[in-house]
Amino acid sequence: MGRHRPSGTPRLRTHVHPDYDELVVVLSGDYRLVREDGHEEGRPGNVFYHPRGVAHTPVSPGDRPVDLLYVAWRQSTAPCTWPRVVPDRLGRMRMLVFWMWTYFSSHREQDQSLVRHLLPALLHEYQEQAEPAAGDLLTRVQSYVQANLRKPLRLADLAKAAGMSPFHFAHVFKRRVGVTPMQYLRQARVEAARELLLHSGLSQKTIARLTGFANPYHLSRVFKNVTGVPPSSLRTSGSSRGKG
């Protein structure tokens, strides 16, 4: 672990950590992590995760010199689904890494037990900041789905609404909510169609269009698959109850 203050070096060399993971806390300046699949922007208060075996290029694009604290560990304890950057909203990760760096700086050749004890707390805090609570996550996705139900939504659209990468979003959503994001979307479409079938006089063609199905046949197939009955049965039973 250590502290890095590059001066006059806007772009560091591309490199790979073959046998250790790393967290980098941005204290000041501008920081960008460039990878083959894109880049992540950072600013003071953000924490970057550099997984082992993944090539990356740290860049300081602004005029202000960047000041970083970093900690690395060899034991593979971080999940590969972690996002590459999260905001340190409460400042706890910065505090933990600063404590570790301060202790490490004065005890390089001596006992490093404090560093080892603080590392699990640091990784736990990163995971907590990376994964919103199930209720918060579901609320974000619910709001977005209800506002865009008639559109051909993709996993990437739901992930963007949740503020997460698609891969990380899919993993966290399934673990926190109990179904995959696309299963949830399908259930939401079916529930909306059910309400319209029961409480409106709209045709199935119109209902299919309003709830994001390609056509009435698509609506009927998915509806029966989810509920066990065809959509036409709701109108038949609803009419019978009305006559009674």
Residue-number span of the structural domain to which 64 is assigned? 2-130
- Return the CATH number at 87: 2.60.120.10
> Which of 130, 157, 187 is a domain's end point?
130
**What is the model's pLDDT at position 134?**
56
Q: Are residues 99 and 145 in the same domain?
A: no
Cα angle 99, 105, 111 (rounded to 5 degrees) comes to 85
Residue 87 contacts residue 43 (beta carbons within 8 Å): no
- Return the CATH number at 218: 1.10.10.60
Q: Are residues 112 and 148 in the same domain?
A: no
Q: Are residues 141 and 231 in the same domain?
A: yes
> Which of 63, 96, 130 is a domain's end point?
130
The pTM of this model reads 0.54
Q: Are residues 93 and 213 in the same domain?
A: no
- Tens place of pLDDT per residue across the chain (244 aa): 555 555 444 456 777 888 888 888 888 877 777 776 666 766 788 888 888 888 877 777 666 777 888 888 887 665 556 667 787 877 888 888 888 888 777 766 555 676 777 888 888 888 777 766 556 778 889 999 999 999 999 999 998 888 778 888 888 888 888 899 999 999 999 999 999 998 888 999 999 999 999 999 999 999 999 999 999 888 765 444 444 3
**What is the model's pLDDT at position 242?**
45
**What is the model's pLDDT at position 3?**
57
Q: Are residues 44 and 155 in the same domain?
A: no
**What is the model's pLDDT at position 244?**
39
